[in-house]
Structure 1
Amino acid sequence: MEHRTLRIFILCLIGLAAGVFVYYIRSILIPFAIAALLAYIIYPLVRSLESRGVQRSKAIFTVYGALTIFLGIILFLFVPAMFDEAKNFANIFPVYAETWEAAREYFNRLSSRMSLPSEVWQILMGTIKDIRQGILRGMRDFADTAVGTVSLLPSFIIAPFLAYYMVKDFRQIKKACLGILPPNYRKDVLILAREGDIIFTR
């Protein structure tokens, strides 16, 4: 029992080291990660169709067809709304800049009329500056998210093709991956994989 626990601990350390390595080359592996996630999602559906006598390749294409229809409906409903929001965002920004300049001029005139103490004036302008920076930060984060999503588009295009071969040749890939490991660790890896699958599919 202790020997098996030690082997599982060593496997976890190896997995952690592999995770660190993958982190540093994550930009290269993004299509493969998306493909692996997609393959994990559709594999039970493919197996279900296979159990009804459908060939694996046809089962994969059937699942892809259903997913394409589902995603098409989602895109049809939400993409126009997203473009409208982006258009509103572009229209709001100039108005925001004009409003900010007008507000700053107003507070300058107010300060000169009321002769506010310098400390009060500094607190007031600091608060307004913080609000402005918060709004700009939110706009910048929104733009960065949009650019990041667009930059992932090639990965999302490649991923279904990779996932197809992952599911189609799952047994060969599984056998090849286990062949890399030392024989005395293979059983533990299978046990960990099954336990992880049970946890994530609950």
Structure 2
Amino acid sequence: MPDTSPASYAVEEGQHGSGPIVWASIIATTCLLLFFFQKILWLVVPFLLALILYYFLYPSMQALIYRGMSREAAASTVTVGFLALLAVVGVALAPWVTGQVAGWQEAVIGYVQGGLQLLDRSLRALEAAWAPLARAHLADTVAGRLTQGAGSVTDHLEPIVVGIMAWAPSLMLAPFLAYFFLRDGRRFQRFLGGAVPNAFFEKTLYLLHEIDRTSRAYFQGLIKLTVLDTLTLAAGLWLLGIPGPFALGLICAVLAWIPYVGSILGGLLVVLVAATDFPDAPGMAYWAVALFVLVRLLDDFVYMPLTIGKSLALHPLVTVLMIFVGGAVAGIAGLMLVLPVLGVVMVIGETIGVIVTDPRLMARHRHALALRREQASSDL
């Protein structure tokens, strides 16, 4: 039986891989998209959350379709079920959230002060063990600067919270968008396919399939990675006796969506909680640091290859460089969006590069245009 896979078409039609011009276009397009997305984050963030929700709910909808339910009914059932579960969880957590909101500013200040005290004790221990540090008065210098910085942080807490609350209405778009992704995703694919010339129809089907496969693998892998990180961190924090282990593990796992910066913020959060809740046991903070480093190692060398490591066929050098480029172009938003955007643009760019450099496909397209012109003028 002949091989009819998309890869076989590429081999038969002379695909030799993407050249430097194609990759320069891919990188330039990715940077332009990141810069543009930074200007409309109010829409990009709900869209990104809707994609994650779509790929999270898609297996359940697919199972209902296999049981004989229509796509529209399955999409409605899955979306309503998710919203009902979200409402139940919200009602159950409402009393706890209300109690925490009343003293959120004092709690944040307390955690900052606990971290400063831990750092001061650690630096003074280093001064006692190393005379050059004591002569430089390192602990006093660092403590003075951090105390001043902590004061400025507390002054900006309220504007940060107000800004987060301002984002709440736009985040409500996520389930709305996810529902239409579930219900009308294939209709949108047919709409795009119908606008493509027949000569490029096979390549267009391959392009749509690869975009969907890349996005699905990335976001489903991200969900699995978040679950693994949450469970591992929660188990370690529970063994250490730190309060709220599951909540802390989930927050750190979600923060890890932001490369490098998110991991640093998550580790700092765990250390601040350990230093504040155990002020007389600085060893707890050190154990928390060791736990976080262990989880990061598991994440990089075990969890990541098992989840999203194979979703984007990118060279490690390109991945690292594009993360820095994304951060430079669009800040924190660029760090979060650069890999999925690069993956999709890479698929589109490589497919277009194959099309425009394939003499047979271009000849078929020119021949089709000539036939149309001849047919249109045949009865004149």
The verdict on a shared fold, with TM-score over 0.5 as the criterion, is: yes
Distance 1:181 1:40, change over 3 A: farther
| Correspondence 1:197 to 2:212 | no
- What amino acid sits opposite 1:151 in the alignment? A
Cα distance in 2 for residues equivalent to 1:92 and 1:37: 32
Distance 1:54 1:193, change over 3 A: closer
> In the alignment, which of 42, 45, 55 is matched to residue 40 of structure 1?
55
The two structures have a TM-score, normalised by structure 1, of 0.63
Higher-RCO chain (CA-CA 8 Å, sequence separation at least 6): 1
The answer to which structure has the higher helix fraction is 1
Name structure 2 gaps, 5 residues minimum.
1-10, 109-137, 221-306, 308-380
| Correspondence 1:72 to 2:94 | no
- What amino acid sits opposite 1:197 in the alignment? R
Q: Paired residue for 1:81?
A: 96
Q: For residues 1-202 of structure 1, what are the structure 2 equivalents within 5 Å?
A: 3-6=15-18, 9=23, 12-13=26-27, 16=30, 17-89=32-104, 129-140=144-155, 142-177=157-192, 183=200, 186=204, 187-188=206-207, 190-191=209-210, 193-198=212-217, 200-201=219-220, 202=307
Name structure 1 gaps, 5 residues minimum.
94-122
SS at the partner of 1:169? helix
Kept after mapping to 2: 8 A contact 1:34/1:155: no
Equivalent pairs, count: 177
Cα distance in 1 for residues equivalent to 2:51 and 2:219: 14
Cα root mean square deviation, aligned: 4.0
Distance 1:77 1:25, change over 3 A: same
SS at the partner of 2:69? coil
Cα distance in 1 for residues equivalent to 2:160 and 2:192: 35
Cα distance in 1 for residues equivalent to 2:214 and 2:56: 17
The Cα offsets for residues 53-97 of structure 1, whole Å up to 9 and x where unpaired, read as 11222222221232123212322233322222221235679xxxx
% of aligned pairs identical? 21
* Greater C-alpha Rg: 1
The two structures have a TM-score, normalised by structure 2, of 0.37
